[in-house]
Structure 1
Amino acid sequence: MKPIESHIVQYRGSHGDFGFEQGQALKESKIIHNRLKHWNVRRPRFHINIEETKQKFMDFAPQMWRELEGLRDGLEMPMEDVLRDFGGYRVEINRSGCSILTERDYMIRNYDYHPQTYEGRFSLFQPNDGGLATIGPTSRLTGRMDGMNEHGLVMAYNFTHRKTPEDGFVCYMIGRMILENCRNVEEAKQFLQEVPHRNAFSYILLDPNGETYVVEASPRGVAVREANVCTNHFEKLTSENRHHLVDSYKRQEAINDQRYPNMPADIAFQLMNDRDGGIFADNYKSWSGTIHTSVYFPKDLGVWFALGGDAEVTTFNFADWLSGEDVERTTMHGEVDTDLPFAHMD
């Protein structure tokens, strides 16, 4: 078993200042070192035009461009490199797993991916220059893997495929934009109809009204359905699916076989986080190992977060934090059954 940790980042202020302070804090970090090392052995298979990318951010989330500019200044890196590593537009992503279960009062998400991509940062951010306050784990510093905003809108995404990509934003940046731009599920569904998608992903949405929607989104179309369970395949835009979906259907079936109406959150958490329950995954070398399990409660703005399986949760009261009460702890700890390196630790 490998011990892992996640750092809790709290910030109230402007996007530009947030980006700058993150850049300065991480300039000599393993996260940045490993990103640069990655490009020393692999050449990017994509090209990013700065002005085109800036215009896209101005169209959909201008505050995020200010954060990227701040990150550029804090890291003292060229903007081309910042956009390549942290911009979330026209970049490449790898396949992943992930499973999601919702009830009217909560969403539980297993984040399944490769340890080398995990940066171990959990962010609470309250901007004063536009955009809604958010809580959730980060991806490529600026993006969000899953999360909730101040209005209780909860978002998570699941991979479907990365074939035939087109110009557009990738999942973690779209996730951040949803949380900062949208107050409820209806606004998020509309946003996902308008924003350009780089790849095919399902975006799962829940707000205090208690209805869950799965938005199947690809560069070629968007479809919406109501569902409480989602893994790694589309059910409406089926032509977008990969050919090999045995694992996705298996996890979906395992959740459906064990869930029941009004299932308490603690029982549902055990269902998702139990190493031997058939949903938690340990396929880390295949980009499908569960690294964290997160639970969001949209009505009271509560959050549970756990690293690894059979884990103890760390709890957050986002409502208290929004009123000015800082989170006292600075790190969360857990362990996973792998010897693979993590981007922020090795």
Structure 2
Amino acid sequence: MSDFYVNVLQIRDTSFQIGVLTGRRVRNTSIVKTWKALTKPIIDHDNMKSIYETLAPHLLEELDGLAYELEISPKKATALFSGYDVPKPKAIGCSALITRNHYVRNYDFSPEVYDGLLSLVQPKEALASVGYNLQILGRHDGVNQEGLVMGLHFVSHEDYRKGVSPWITTRMVLDTCSSLDEAVSLIKEIPHAACYNFSIGDREGNIAIVEASPEQVVVRNDEALSCVNHFQTNLLKSKNRKNIEGSVKRNNYLQSLSDRYLTQNELFNHFKSKNSPVFFTDYDDYFGTLHTFSYSFPNTRILTTIAQSNQILDMDLQRWLDGEDINMKVLKGSIEKD
């Protein structure tokens, strides 16, 4: 068993300063070295910049802040952290359940490729949000000031191409969208690099799974929705990997939970429990649970924790938006491999 940490970063400032202060937190850390090893040394900066200027220009300012603090060129910062034209990552596992009242999700991968940052940011140029960082600029999952919550779920590398990563898609939606309809519209505009599901809900009780491939985007709706790592609509089923048995099994289990009308606490505790069918410890095979994230639409309550931790961040998003900082600076958990 090894200790596992996630730093909690709170910033209320310009997008440039958010980049500076985030860069200060990750400077000289292993995650920067990891992304140097995983990303291309040079990307099509002009094309990337054109997309971001159209869809989320403030993220270019945040990238400039990262470049300034890390003492690298803006072009190097975009290659490292923009999430554009990223080489194919290994399969990422995630399980989520959305009802009209609650959202709960587990993120499963390897601690070796994990930023270890939970950011609470309130930019002057975009919507405030709380979420777990991926490739520094992007987000695994999170919720914004309008009560829009979203998470990503890997499906396949079918039709993989140069484009925007799903973690940047998540960040763009959280930063610029106030409703499910706005989120779907933006996702349809983004040039996606790979096949991913996005689990999304808003404060009006609208929920959906958005199935996105580089060629097509399809929306799946229902009263309660489970989301795992395969497409379920007939239009996109052909894009699934050959072996989706584990994903189907998780989906069937999550569907059984949706009929039980569980509270946010009950759902959250179930997902984070090591004994849960949706908690995994296959860290060496890039399938170990790293964090659990939950949001309640009616009362703006966030519950989150990391792998096998006794610490739970329990916060009222609205109170934080009104200026009340949280006291927690680090979440400590542990990684126990099979």
Distance 1:311 1:15 in 2: 33
Shift of 1:163: 3.2
Query: Which residue matches 1:292?
Result: 291
Residue among 169, 182, 187 paired with 1:187: 182
Query: Which consecutive segments of 4 or more residues in structure 1 shift more than 3 A?
Result: 33-36, 309-312
Query: Which residue matches 1:234?
Result: 231
Query: Which residue matches 1:111?
Result: 107
- 1:150–1:301 contact (8 Å) kept in structure 2: no
Per-residue Cα deviation, 1:256-286 (whole angstroms, up to 9, x for no partner): 2344242111221233222222211112122
Query: Which residue matches 1:10?
Result: 10
Query: Which residue matches 2:123?
Result: 127
Identity %: 29
**Which residue identity does 2:321 align to in structure 1?**
L
Name the SS for the 1:94 alignment partner: coil
Alignment of 1:333-344 (within 5 A): 333-338=332-337
Query: Which residue matches 1:19?
Result: 19
Shift of 1:114: 1.2
- 2:127–2:144 contact (8 Å) kept in structure 1: yes
Gaps of 5+ in 2: none
Per-residue Cα deviation, 1:76-126 (whole angstroms, up to 9, x for no partner): 112333122210111123211110012211100000111111121111111
TM-score (normalised: structure 1): 0.91
Distance 2:325 2:85 in 1: 36
- 2:34–2:113 contact (8 Å) kept in structure 1: no
Shift of 1:327: 1.0
Per-residue Cα deviation, 1:284-320 (whole angstroms, up to 9, x for no partner): 1221111111101233321111111475522122211
Query: Which residue matches 1:83?
Result: 78
- 1:16–1:68 contact (8 Å) kept in structure 2: yes
- 2:313–2:328 contact (8 Å) kept in structure 1: no
Determine if the alignment matches structure 1 residue 212 to structure 2 residue 207: yes
Shift of 1:158: 0.6
Query: Which residue matches 2:195?
Result: 200
Distance 2:216 2:146 in 1: 28
TM-score (normalised: structure 2): 0.93
- 1:2–1:338 contact (8 Å) kept in structure 2: no
Query: Which residue matches 1:329?
Result: 328
Name the SS for the 1:98 alignment partner: strand
Distance 1:35 1:166 in 2: 19
**Which residue identity does 1:66 align to in structure 2?**
E
**Which residue identity does 1:234 align to in structure 2?**
F
Distance 2:20 2:27 in 1: 10
Aligned-residue RMSD, C-alpha: 1.8
Distance 1:160 1:304 in 2: 26
Residue among 95, 98, 101 paired with 1:102: 98
Determine if the alignment matches structure 1 residue 62 to structure 2 residue 57: yes
- 2:309–2:333 contact (8 Å) kept in structure 1: no
Distance 2:254 2:90 in 1: 25
Determine if the alignment matches structure 1 residue 52 to structure 2 residue 51: no
Of 81-90 and 136-145, more deviation after overlay is shown by 81-90
Determine if the alignment matches structure 1 residue 142 to structure 2 residue 137: yes
Distance 2:231 2:199 in 1: 12
Query: Which residue matches 1:318?
Result: 317
Distance 2:101 2:258 in 1: 15
Name the count of aligned residue pairs: 333
